[in-house]
Structure 1
Amino acid sequence: MIHKHTISVLVNNQPGVLQRVSGLFGRRGFNIESITVGESEELGLSRMVIVTTGDDNTLEQVQKQLYKLIDVIKVVDLSSNPMVERELALIKVSAEPSLRPEILGIVETFRSAVVDISPNSLIVQVVGGSDKIDAMVELLRPYGIRELSRTGVTAMMRGGAK
């Protein structure tokens, strides 16, 4: 059965690691829906959070292949555990002054923020799970989305697990 997986990959912070990891996914026929990379809690190590879809067998094969890469330290399927997932999106919306109260109502409902105002547009910042971002985009679409930028998902297991 095919479903969404969120994988955390702890790697050495070296040039080319991102390319080798993403290339492995491509060779296995896996599409990467989102990937975020940044420093981890350990000096010299970065954490990649990769969201992809596939069946459990294929995911297991990808995990085994990842461990064969010299710079990969640890691979964890976060989606098999309770996790906290967040994404950030900036959405530039057409906003004539007469429509702004409606748009601000949507922004307030989603506990989001307007981070820029110009004479004919607003930039809205929304933080939350991917479903929340998708819902916000759909509600703002009728007003005219001029530009959309999403960070991709970052995640970690809940509680004391590492």
Structure 2
Amino acid sequence: MEPGGQDINLNSPNKGLLTDTMTDVPVGPAGSRVPADAAGAGLPEGLTEAEAEELQTELSKVEEEIQTLRQVLAAKERHSAELKRKLGQTPLNQLKMNLSKSLHEVQMSNAYVKTTEKLGEWNEKVTQSDAYKKTQETLSTAGQKTSAALSNVGSAISRRLGDMR
């Protein structure tokens, strides 16, 4: 059994059984399991006291099962984290793997493939157009002239600095 009083092993014949002390179950007046505020408020219409007590008992059992399942889940999460740590799977590595997988899925999607194809077609049309070719030639010529002018300015500055020495 676990230290908390419950056996959280789902395969155990004792699963969910509590020890003699039940500290988390609310106890109302005269030792009943009905909370004090519910006992004083009266019973809902059409519900006998025996039925209310039976429902309260069932509710307590369900809440105990929920608590047991939370403990089992917490234990499994700790065990999973320990296994990942032993395998060297850090949160950063897992994030990298998830991002890589997501990127691959996006690249394989129909929308991405079709968009890439369409952009390729547009690129081909644009680069083959006369306007693009003329603009490319003009910018290339302008770049060469700018480069030559900057080179001349650099040489002139170097000469002046040499003269100043």
TM-score grouping bracket, smaller chain normalisation: under 0.3
Normalised to the residue count of structure 1, the TM-score between the two structures is: 0.20
Larger RCO, structure (CA 8 Å, separation 6 or more):
1
Normalised to the residue count of structure 2, the TM-score between the two structures is: 0.20
Which protein is richer in strand relative to its size?
1
Bigger CA radius of gyration: 2
